[in-house]
Each structure stands twice: as C-alpha cells, then as structure tokens.
Amino acid sequence: MPFSLVHAPVGVIDIGSNSVRLVIYDAIKRHMRPIFNEKMLCGLGSELGQTGRLPARGKAEALACFARYVKIARALPVQELRVIATAALRDASDGPAFLRQLEEQTGVAVTLISGDEEARLAALGVQATLHAPSGLAGDLGGGSLELTAMQDGTLGERVSLPLGVLRLWQQAGSDVSRLRRLIGESLEALPWLAKGEYPEFYAIGGSFRTIARIHMRRTNYPLRLLHQYHIQRRELKRFADDMLRLNLHALGSLKGMPSERAHMFVPSLVALQTIIEHVGIEEVVVCAGGIREGLLFDSLPATVQAADPLQAYVEDILPEYRTGSEYPEALCRWLTPLHARASDTPLRLTRAFCYLSDAAIGMHPECRAQWAFDLVLYSSLNGITHRQRVWLALAMYHRYRTKLKLDHPALSLLNEQDLASARLLGSGAALAFLLSGGAVPLLQEFEMSLTGDRITLKPEAEVRITDAETREKLLEGLGESLRALSSLTK
C-alpha cells in the first residue's frame, strides 16, 4: 500500500463476520493513539454455514451502523477514512451485492480483502504493537482464522482457514470432541506449522480477548490490561479443563463474560487450546493490535516501521511537556552508572523512563508521584510487558517521591530486584533535575560515580548549593537502593 502520513485523525471501518467497528486514530504514525472506538455486533456471518448468504437482519443492522460510522468520521472530521471487509462478504454468495449497497448508500469505497491479505495485516498489527515479536500470530474472527509465522517482527508463512468462531459454532456447537477434530484436521494440512518453532502465540481478536478477560478474573490478576497479558500453556490447560465442564448458562453467568459472546466461548477456547497443543507453543500473549492497526502500519515507511514502539510512544508525548529530546538523552547518559547496577533493566526501558521522567512537573506537588505512576500504568504505550510497565510506573513514582507510600496490587508483579532498581533510577532522575533544573549544560557540569555502594558527585562544592534536605533524601534513597541490589545479587 502507498505511503500516506497524515497529521490528522484517520479512521478505519472494519466490516467483519461478527461485528462492524470504527476506530479513529490521532494520526498515521509509529505510535497511533485511538481517540474513538466503537463496534456493533451484526453477525453477518451467522448463517454462512447453513445458507451461504448474509442474514437479512444482520445486513440491515450493518447498513445502519456503517452509515452512522461514516457520518461520525465526516463530522469530526477524519482526514482519511479506510473501509475493509473480510470473510463474511468474501465468502457469501450475496457478499458482492451487499458491498455495492454499502458503497452506494454512503459514497465510500469498501475494500474486500483476501484471506491471505487478512492474515498479513493481522500480523502487521502485532508488529505495530509489540517489540520484535517472534512466534505465531493468530487472528480468530467470526468467519475465519488467520495464522502467520513471525521472526523478530518479520512475517513468514501464513494462511487463512474457514474456522471462524461463528462457523465453528454452526458446525459443532459446544461439542468439544468435534471442534478439536475440525480444527486439528485443518492444522494437520499445514506442514510449515510442524516445522517451525514458535515460542509465543499472539492471540488477536475479541474471542481470544474474552478468554483472557475471564482468565484474568478467575486468577485475580492484579493489572486489568489485556494487551500483552500472558497465559502459560499448562495454565491454559487447567483453565480450559475447568471452563469446558460448564454448561452454556453457567458460562454466561461468569463475571466479565459478554452476554453476546457466551455461546462462542467454547469454540474459541477449544480453538486456542488446539492450536497451542498442536504447534507446541509454551505461552499465549494477548495482542490488542490487529488488522486495523496493521492496515495503517503498512502505510509507514520501513524506517518508521522498524522503530521501537515503546520509544515511539515516549517521543510522541514528549512535546506535551518538554520542547525537545536533548535533556532526556543527556539524562540517560548521566544515569549510566545506575543503569549498570540495575542489570535486569533493559536499556530501552531506562531510556523510555528518561523521556517520561518530567511528565508530572506541571501537576500539584502532592499529586505528582501518584499521577506519574498512573500515567504509565494505564497509558496506551506498546512494546512492553506487564512487568516492565509496572517497573516503569514505579520508577516514575520514585522520580517524585523517594519513599514508597503506595499500595497497588500491580506491584506484586515485581520482585525485590525490580523494586530496588525502580527506586534507584527514579531517585537518580530526581537528583539530576535538582542539580540542573532540566538544563543540559548544568547537568553536564556534574559527574556521578559509584564505588561499591557509595555515590560520589563532583564537583562537591557546587552540590552544596542545592536544596540540602532534598538532596540528602535522594542520596539516602539511592544508597538504600544500591545496598538492596547488592544484597540481592550476592
């Protein structure tokens, strides 16, 4: 697809087999922030298995929904609107006629994409929102299942199978044995699946997200974010064994289960478990990115696509509180001795922290630490695991408060080393700002070095000019963090 970079809202309408959705993003760039997201379950593929046609009610609902979404996009206004249709319109005998009806009603062109293209775009959505993904991307929709091999973000073999959750329900209902057989036979026909090594399965689509949401609630997971939620293979088996014992009424009563998805839960769960077992994958990773994100990501030049999604996020929001990247880069260099002690912390994470570290300066002093923590914990940043997200949030907290006076269940995702290193980097950034006021030339006047657990700042005479009480608190926090890290690594 041609390169099109717009510094204005861009919208994507996805006409799928189960739902019609409109997502509007702030712009087409490496980090795309959704500013509007709405869907309607129309079930265009709900009768495809029996009649081969689109249901009359589903078509009426989809027409009305589509007209509304186009009206919203024009009113905002969206500078560029892209519309794609997938399996239901691709496979239904009356799909082409309905597509023309959609276009005539609104004057907006609809692109009917092939199964191969759907698989490619879904995998690009994974690439857009994860850091160098290596594994198998799987997008389970209402009408089809797309699988794509990925290695360090590069796409490999791919396929689109007629195993959408609506079709599976039509063919086998909640008959687990029959579902396993239908899915297994299709997977057996793909020799490249057996030949590859896939450490992770990137689960795309609402059906897989529902599985993750229910699992998250059943395990009392401390961070309610689906993107990059991990489920180990053994844990998935235990969970599936428990869920598949329940009847449809009991499934529909589960906390977090959308009523309209209860009947599709068993086919979705069996599909996920069968893929994992067949391919020998050890971990499921939920991915919020998919075909819509992939469609826009595909418009970016290769140099932009190759950028780290985490760094793209922090650079994207930088202008909101700082005019340039000179100080964050200088801070990253200044904190090098502390980063070296935090050996488990990737450099890309420390660098992202340096870009974000001053984000709460404009807040009330009493609220800065909590606000900075929440900013990271609940933001739309990508390319980061849940553990790394919590670490980054805690480092931001310690940028504004040396002592930990925070009780959040997400902290349970961190170990003692994480807690100490987050405090170390956060306190170090606070000290740097105290010394320099955020000015690069002033920060460069000072040199920090470590000898054992002792911190030395030079020139010492200049250090005495600053706020002595705050400086001593920060140095104390740094010393305690260093001693904690030292004891943990012995």
| Residue appearing with tokens 């949401």 | 213
d(CA 176, CA 321): 54
Residue 465 has what pLDDT? 59
CA atoms within 13 A on the CB side of 342: 28
Pairing of strands 200-204, 283-286: parallel
CB 99 within 8 A of CB 352: no
**Structure-token pair, residue 336:** 């090098």
- Rounded to whole angstroms, the Cα distance separating 59 from 119 reads 25
As given in the structure block, the two tokens for residue 138 are: 């799987």
> Nearest Cα to 82, choosing from 112, 110, 120?
110
In this prediction, residue 5 carries a pLDDT of 45
Residue 462: per-residue pLDDT: 58
Domains and CATH numbers, the chain: 10-112 (3.30.420.40), 116-292 (3.30.420.150), 309-489 (1.10.3210.10)
Could you give the CA distance from residue 426 to residue 400 in angstroms, rounded to a whole number? 8
| Amino acid identity for residue 205 in this structure | G
CB 139 within 8 A of CB 118: yes
The pLDDT value recorded for residue 317 is: 84
Query: Where does residue 151 rank: exposed (0-12), middle (13-18), buried (19+ CB within 10 A)?
Result: middle
Question: Interior CA angle at 340 toward 337 and 343, to 5°?
Answer: 155
- Max CA separation in the chain (angstroms): 84
- Give the pLDDT confidence score for residue 2 in this predicted structure: 37
Put residue 452 in one of left, alpha, beta given phi > 0 → left and psi -120 to 50 → alpha.
Answer: left
379 CA to centre of own chain = 10
CB atoms < 10 A from the CB of 18, how many? 28
CA distance 55 to 59: 6
| Residue 135 backbone zone (phi > 0: left; psi -120 to 50: alpha; other: beta) | left
CB atoms within 10 A of CB 432: 24
C-beta separation of 118 from 87 below 8 A: yes
Tens place of pLDDT for every residue, the chain, 490 residues? 333 444 589 999 999 999 999 999 999 999 999 999 999 999 999 998 889 999 999 999 999 999 999 999 999 889 999 999 999 999 999 999 999 999 999 999 999 999 999 999 999 999 999 999 999 999 999 999 999 999 998 999 999 999 999 999 999 988 999 999 999 999 999 999 988 889 999 999 999 999 999 999 999 999 999 999 999 999 999 999 999 999 988 998 998 888 878 889 999 999 999 999 999 999 999 999 999 999 999 999 999 999 999 999 999 888 887 778 899 999 999 999 999 999 889 999 999 999 999 999 999 999 999 999 999 999 989 999 999 999 999 999 999 999 999 999 999 999 999 999 999 999 999 999 988 999 999 999 998 888 887 888 888 655 665 667 787 888 888 888 988 888 886 6
pLDDT for res 451: 84
SS (H, E, C) the chain: CCCCCCCCCEEEEEECCCEEEEEEECCCCCCCCEEEEEEEECCCCCCHHHHCCCCHHHHHHHHHHHHHHHHHHHHCCCCEEEEEECHHHHHCCCHHHHHHHHHHHHCCCCEECCHHHHHHHHHHHHHHHCCCCCEEEEEECCCCEEEEEEECCEEEEEEEECCCHHHHHHHHCCCHHHHHHHHHHHHHCCHHHHHCCCCEEEEECHHHHHHHHHHHHHCCCCCCCCCCCEEEHHHHHHHHHHHCCCCHHHHHCCCCCCHHHHHHHHHHHHHHHHHHHHHCCCEEEECCCCHHHHHHHCCCCHHHHCCCHHHHHHHHHHHHCCCCCHHHHHHHHHCHHHHHHCCCCCHHHHHHHHHHCCCCCCCCCCCHHHHHHHHHHCCCCCCCCHHHHHHHHHHHHHHHCCCCCCCCHHHHHCCHHHHHHHHHHHHHHHHHHHHHCCCHHHHCCCEEEEECCEEEEECHHHHCCCCHHHHHHHHHHHHHHHHHHHHHHC
Please tell me the distance from the alpha carbon of residue 113 to that of residue 119, in angstroms, as a whole number: 10
pLDDT value at residue 320 = 80
CB 377 within 8 A of CB 393: yes
